[in-house]
Amino acid sequence: MPERTFDGRELRNRRVLLRKSQSELGAVLGVGTNAVSRWETGQATPPPERLPGIAAALDADLDDLFPRLEPPNLADLRCDAGMTQADTVAVTKTRSPMSVRAAERGKRPLPEAFHQALAHAYGVTVPELLAAQKRSFGHLVPVPAPVGASATAVAHKLAHLRDEVFQGALPSDAEIADEGNRKAGKPVLTAALVEALRLGTYARLSDEILDALALALDVPSVFFHSPDPQIERLVVSTRAVRNSFTVEAARGGEHEMPAAARAELLDFISSTMAEILGPDSDLPG
């Protein structure tokens, strides 16, 4: 079962950022402080159907806080709705969850009469429910490609930055998440989410996620939003050049530049960028 990624450290980071105590979070979730502590320290993992409630209590998107690295099956859809198997009897109007249990285990498909009601309860369409059912039976059913920036495109851009700007090694997933959240002024990224972005397995991209990622890696947000390869090359090249100057300065190789030479160089850079960006650009002279 491709359960969501749970990291107790990310749970704690999110709680601390929101200035909630373990007891406050536990009270909202209806569990004791000890349970929250065990989750955060990795001694226990909450049941998957509890994850939506935890994300909501921490004002976080479920996919952001607990990303899924594979498409969902039937059990995943149920858990994402915060429901146990026993909860489904109210939806299917039956005395037991036997039919749901059998379908989740890949033994017997759901009765057609349950499709619409379960899809509504799970917050998905009937085709999405049936696709998840096929996965429960061992079939490979990919999730349709999202509109806008694609997961694979973002992964490619991260690899491009890694190779050309960061000398083959990006900061750790946790470091990227922490830096993006710090600059964004709110918790947006988690280490697990950044990992999914790197691997190209995160399909629910949002402007907020892409903007925080850009802030973390010190590139303009258009780098992740635009599919234009020229923009990608320009940003990466500029960052690589800036990095080389930064490294040179750190090594004591930077010398004071005469004012006239500095002004001439700035004028050259400005005019060159104007040529690259075209006649509609509005760069300062």
Going by the DSSP 8-state scheme, the letter that residue 4 receives in this structure is P
pLDDT in tens, 161-195: 999 889 889 999 999 999 999 999 988 899 889 99
More confident residue, 198 or 277: 198
pLDDT in tens, 6-22: 999 989 998 998 899 99
Could you say which of 3.40.50.300, 2.40.30.10, 2.40.110.10, 1.10.260.40 is the CATH number of the domain covering 8-65?
1.10.260.40
284 confidence band (pLDDT: 50, 70, 90): very low
Could you say which of 1.20.1260, 1.10.260, 2.30.30, 3.40.50 is the CATH number of the domain covering 151-254?
1.10.260
* Other beta carbons within 10 Å of 272: 11
Nearest to 157 by CA among 69, 242, 238, 232: 232
Whose tokens are 């990992």? That residue is 195
Regarding the domain with residue range 74-136, which homologous superfamily does it belong to in the CATH classification? Answer: lambda repressor-like DNA-binding domains (1.10.260.40)
Per the rule left: phi > 0, alpha: psi between -120 and 50, beta: everything else, 123 is left
Nearest to 155 by CA among 111, 101, 197: 197
* Under 8 Å between Cβ of 80 and 129: no
* Under 8 Å between Cβ of 212 and 181: yes
